[in-house]
Chain A
Amino acid sequence: MNPYLPFKAGITGIRRETGDVRTFRLELKNGLPSGAPGQFNMVGYPGVGEVPISFSLLPSKDSPLFEHTVRAVGRVTDFLAGFGEGDEIFLRGPFGRGWPVNEVKGKHLVLISGGLGLAPVRPVIQMADQLNAKRITLLHGARDPESILFETELKEWRKKGIDVKLTVDEPGEGWRFHAGIITEIIRPLKIEAAETLAFICGPEIMMRFSARELFLKNVPRSNVHVSIERRMRCGTGLCGHCQHGIWFVCKDGPVFSYQELSGYPDALL
């Protein structure tokens, strides 16, 4: 099989999340995609190119549809922003190693996300019932109240028993939650270090400081997992662009434990 050969997916719905972020609800033309939380597709269109986008929702027993949440920042993502319901896009994958959901059982799962980083974490929340976690906490930071993703789902997540805590940099009028950087809502968190498993996704600098807060609470490095972003051209460990130390972020990651990433140059982590 040619790993470069993409397949078509139909857009069955588009949700405008915030200014430049859209969630595409997708349906595969031929059969069901498999996929795990934290994995990604190479998404694109012929003549424009392909970029890595994490699953923000996986197909489940209730629905064969899945979602990608995309911020328009450049050539390919701007092009995708012009698509409408009924259009077709091209996908490859799923690729990569996702979140270690099998390790969650019996643990306190701490999900920490910044901005669009909530998208790759959402499939974990989607399967929260199956994880058998002792406790799940979601700490999410955004620029301002308007740019909080999946806001309509937060209530539902709380109903599932997830302790959701929010913070924004610029609160504005009527904001009921914390204002400030993400570390400020990590710090007061009561946790048992050895029984805590953390999944972090967001800008690299935010992941670094979030992880540091957890280390101060004695959470072992091997229990702190981050999803990192690198330039990707193939998704299959062939083009070399995503290399970080000995790792190919596309196939060995994008999710790594802090332990695995430690010591290599050219990262903020």
Chain B
Amino acid sequence: MTGENVFQKNYEVLICKELFAGWVEGLRDDFKLIGPVGDGVNAEFREIASLKEANLDYQSTMLPPGKAYLFKPLEEIVLFNAGPGGVAAEEPPIPVQKQVLIGVHACDTHAVFYLDKVFLGAFTDPFYKARRENTFIISLNCKTVTDLCFCHLIGTGPYLKAQSGYDMLLTDMGGEFLVELKSERSKNLFNVKGRPPEAGDWQKKDEMETRLLKSFKKDFKADGLRQVFLSRPGHPVLKETAEERCLSCANCVMVCPTCFCHDVYDETDLSLTRIKRMRRWDACQDYFFAQVHGGNFRSERQARLRQFVFHKLDYEGQFGLKGTVGCGRCIRWCPTGIDLTEIAEEMMK
């Protein structure tokens, strides 16, 4: 039996890294390539010409790849033209650029599943939908974890277990990548021949995962928070943390891969004939976020911090998914190191 036949049956293959890089470069004719550039936790997903520029050993990025490339920070959602015949509304062009996100970690892949629930739910966002359909996601199992990662407690990593919702899964096996094809389009697109994995390869993968699982530093009981949270919304740890340390800078929300809130506002050009209705990432940490005429539902800083912590660790009933994927970004990028898992632990005491 040739390797090709086995591969077609199983959609799993081991290939050397150079071959994989070559295949990725070949996608450039049709896709924008977006991959992690830079080291450690300070990498950044940006457009690359080839995998040589990318660092697939990166640990984390400030902005999550899914949110940054599927849900733009600033975007036109309606255009208005004012003319002699009155004002007419029109739909801005729907994005058509195809892109590949290369090396998306398990947590960040799960975050895309969360954004899908938001933007492809009861109401479909046409811009997100178009980008999502035009985005080929190559996920990557982690090789290392950081001190702040807690995906193992949420069930979103460090190895990706989902079988659909993305296109391809890579595991670094040393000189080779184990490539697992997870979508129909990846089966059509991936035409590289390689060696079919044997029992020993799967065992090696399992062993690497087990070893990685042992290296996590964070540990808290992520289940059962609901009872604790809603029965003690005024817990002193919230008040103390908010008043003594939180700056309401909203870094935590901006870097969060599942935070989807945005503001909507109108921009009129100088001729007063073209108006753009825009959306822009917004944050529940902002004082005005929950303000209405006659009051503000979260005027207190502790109320805003609580909204973030509860939305991430509880409120699972909203979409049937936890609001956190355990990536640790909100902790890392908080200027005063506020850690939602520590708040949760304190509340559970």
Which residues B143-165 have CB closer than 8 A to chain A? none
- Judging by beta carbons under 8 Å apart, are B284 and A265 in contact? no
Contact of B262 with A239 in the complex, beta carbons under 8 Å: yes
Q: B120 to nearest A CB, angstroms?
A: 10
Known: A49-B266, A266-B290. A4 touches B277 (CB 8 A): yes
B265 touching A266, Cβ below 8 Å: no
Given contacts A238-B260, A246-B317, A246-B318, contact A88 B282 (CB under 8 A): no
In this assembly, does B275 line the interface, its C-beta being within 8 Å of a C-beta of chain A?
yes
The reply to whether A46 and B87 form a contact with Cβ atoms under 8 Å apart is yes
A252 to chain B, nearest CB (A): 9
Decide if A3 is an interface residue (CB 8 Å cutoff): yes
B237 in the interface (beta carbon within 8 A): no
CB atoms of B123 and A238 under 8 A apart:
yes
Q: Mark A207-218, 1 if CB is under 8 A from B, else 0.
A: 000000000000
| Contact between chains at A46 and B266 (CB < 8 Å) | yes
Is A229 close to B, CB under 8 A?
yes
Give the complex CA separation of A29 and B123 in angstroms: 24
Known A-B contacts A46-B89, A266-B303; A230 and B277 likewise in contact (beta carbons under 8 Å): no
Query: Of B272, B282, B295, B316, which contacts A239 at CB under 8 A?
Result: B282
Q: Does A143 contact B (CB under 8 A)?
A: no
Judge whether A236 and B122 touch: CB under 8 Å.
yes
The answer to whether A22 has its CB under 8 Å from any CB of chain B is no
CB-nearest residue of chain A relative to B259?
A: A240
Answer whether residue A6 sits at the interface, using C-beta atoms and an 8 A cutoff.
yes
Choose one: B87, B123, B272, B297; the contact of A266 (CB below 8 Å). Answer: B297
Complex CA gap A241/B265 in Å reads 13
Instruction: With CB as the reference atom, state the residue of chain A lying closest to B127.
Output: A2
Which of the listed residues B82, B234, B279 has the most CB atoms from chain A within 10 Å of its own CB? B279
Contact B91 A2 (CB under 8 A): yes
User: A241 and B119 in contact (CB under 8 A), knowing A46-B89, A233-B263, A265-B233?
Assistant: no
Neighbour of B118 across the interface among A73, A88, A238, CB < 8 A: A238
In chain B, residues 244-265, which have Cβ atoms closer than 8 Å to a Cβ of chain A? Answer: 260-265
Q: In the bound complex, do residue B290 and residue A48 qualify as a contact, i.e. CB atoms below 8 Å apart?
A: no
**Minimal beta-carbon separation of B75 from chain A (angstroms):** 10
Interface residue ranges of A214-255 to B (CB < 8 Å): 229-231, 233-234, 236-241, 243-248, 251
Q: A88 contacts which chain B residues (CB < 8 A)?
A: 86-87
Interface residues on A, range: 35 or more
Are A49 and B306 CB-contacts (below 8 A) given A4-B78, A240-B282, A246-B318? no
Cβ contact within 8 Å between B122 and A233: no
Contact indicator per residue, chain B 303-323, by CB within 8 Å of chain A (1) or not (0): 100110011000111100000
By a CB distance below 8 angstroms, the chain A residues around B284 are: 240, 243
CA distance A5 to B264 in the complex (A): 13
Contacts of A6 in B (CB 8 A): 78, 89
Query: What chain A residues lie within 8 Å of B230 (beta carbons)?
Result: 263-265
Enumerate chain B residues within 8 angstroms of A3, measured Cβ to Cβ: 123-125
A236 touches B123 (CB 8 A): yes
Q: Is A82 an interface residue (CB 8 A)?
A: no
Query: Which one, B77, B118, B292, contacts A2 given CB within 8 A?
Result: B77
* Interface pair A47/B275, CB less than 8 Å apart: yes
B332 in contact (CB, < 8 A): no
Residues of A within 8 A of B125 (CB): 3, 238
Please state if B265 and A49 are interface contacts (CB–CB under 8 Å).
yes
State A235–B292 Cα separation when bound (angstroms).
15
**Inter-chain contact A265/B317, CB cutoff 8 Å:** no
Q: For the complex, is B294 an interface residue (Cβ under 8 Å from A)?
A: yes
Q: In the complex the two chains form, what is the Cα distance from A229 to B290 in whole Å?
A: 10
A19 beta carbon closer than 8 Å to chain B: no
The yes or no answer to A90 lying at the interface (CB within 8 A) is yes
* Complex: A250 Cα to B84 Cα, angstroms: 35
Asked if A50 lies at the interface with its beta carbon under 8 angstroms from chain B, I say: yes
> Are A243 and B311 within 8 A (Cβ)?
yes
- Asked if B289 and A266 sit within 8 Å, CB to CB, the answer is no
A7, A48, A203, A264: the one within 8 Å of B266 (CB):
A48
Residues of B whose CB lies within 8 Å of any CB of A are 77-78, 80, 82, 86-87, 89, 91, 118-119, 121-126, 230, 233-234, 260-266, 268, 272, 275, 277, 279, 282, 284, 289-295, 297-298, 303, 306-307, 310-311, 315-318
Q: Which 9 interchain pairs have the tightest Cβ spacing? A: A240-B261, A46-B80, A236-B123, A265-B233, A73-B293, A233-B264, A246-B318, A246-B317, A4-B77
Residues of A within 8 A of B (CB): 1-7, 46-50, 73-74, 88, 90, 203-204, 229-231, 233-234, 236-241, 243-248, 251, 263-267
Q: List 20 A-B contacts (CB under 8 A).
A: A2-B126, A3-B124, A4-B277, A5-B89, A6-B89, A73-B293, A73-B294, A88-B87, A204-B295, A230-B297, A231-B289, A231-B290, A236-B123, A237-B121, A237-B122, A240-B260, A240-B282, A264-B230, A265-B306, A266-B297
